[in-house]
Amino acid sequence: MVAVLAVFYPGSGYPQQTKGVKRPPRSPPELPIQARLLRWPGHAPVIQEANFKRHAMTPKYRSCALVTRFADARVAESAGLLARHLAARGVLPLALLGESDHFDGEAILGVSEDELAERAELVVAIGGDGTLLYAAGLVAERGTPLLGINRGRLGFLTDVMPEVMLSSIDSALAGECEVDHRELLEAELLGDDGQTIRGLALNDVVLQKWQSGHVLDFETWINGRYVNTHGGDGLVVSSATGSTAYALSCGGPIVEPGLDIMVVAPICPHALSDRPIVVSGRSTVAVKLVDRADARAEVSCDGRLLGAMSPGGQLIVRPSGRRSTLLHPVGYDYYRLLRSKLNWGRRSFDTPG
């Protein structure tokens, strides 16, 4: 009796006999020419064919805006590489007018801020968190997905490292990234002349004094209830996302981004008892300047100036009902991100490495 060992060729549907052959084995099914070109020794043909199909598939997004600043040569290099990669995938790269001139020889379309918000189906911010916040402000009204490539310093929001940039872009185009919805704050600045200015913020709304060397006196009200009269440099009203930004330097807590809260944190308060507080994310926070002869402040949303504030005016911060959509690589872990950025998890006698 002859022992027969049968080995299944992937996708063939029949065994090949390796011992005691009684009939010539049939040829394996013909693979597409593109897949055959990817058959290197030691690699399973079906796996290579799957990789080819992933790159050849129709991308989820047809246009992608690249938002970056070219002052850093490393950023410019990453942006150029990414523009070529997107074009090879059949995705139209977009950039703001003026910035598009830096893409030498690249097929990239320069557009205005309004046109970018209208045409971009995906936004990639290359830089630090400030760059991503600027990009988020451009598309805040539309909720366009954002992916952050970290070429800055801390990078709590730009969490994709340069060495995995292209594979992360491919995952985004294939719809394989983790989707993270972040609530936006709305700031409403009521002027003493009756005019109203509105803005949106992913991180925080900041009230700060106009002149250095002067203490700013102001009142806070939450949901129509008086809270405190403060003396200091200003106030940060932060979302959970922004708890690792300006509010953190004011002594505020680190808050998991999924929690529906706001952090109200005084900036350099004169009274040591004037501490940050955490309130419901559904709250309405109102700020009024105390009437002083030199009282004047300015309000910003994610670092963008919204307007000036004088006694008789009022700043109101509330949930906007809109969300920004952040994309993360599969396996994203917020606590691992904190360990990386804040050097947690190291013993006192460990040397940084």
Q: Which amino acid is at 22?
A: K
Query: How does strand 6-8 pair with strand 15-17?
Result: antiparallel
DSSP state for residue 102 in the 8-state scheme: G
Q: Look at residues 221, 309, 234 and name the one whose alpha carbon lies nearest to residue 268.
A: 234
The catalytically annotated residue of 72, 101, 129, 333 is 129
User: What burial class does residue 238 get, using C-beta atoms within 10 Å of its C-beta: 0-12 exposed, 13-18 middle, 19+ buried?
Assistant: buried
129 among known catalytic residues = yes
Neighbours of 161 (CB within 10 A): 14
- 159 and 332 in contact (C-beta within 8 Å)? yes
* Neighbour tally for 207: CB within 10 Å: 27
Answer whether 85's CB lies under 8 Å from 141's CB: no
Residues 6+ apart with CB under 8 A from 3: 19, 20
Point out the residues that are catalytic: 129
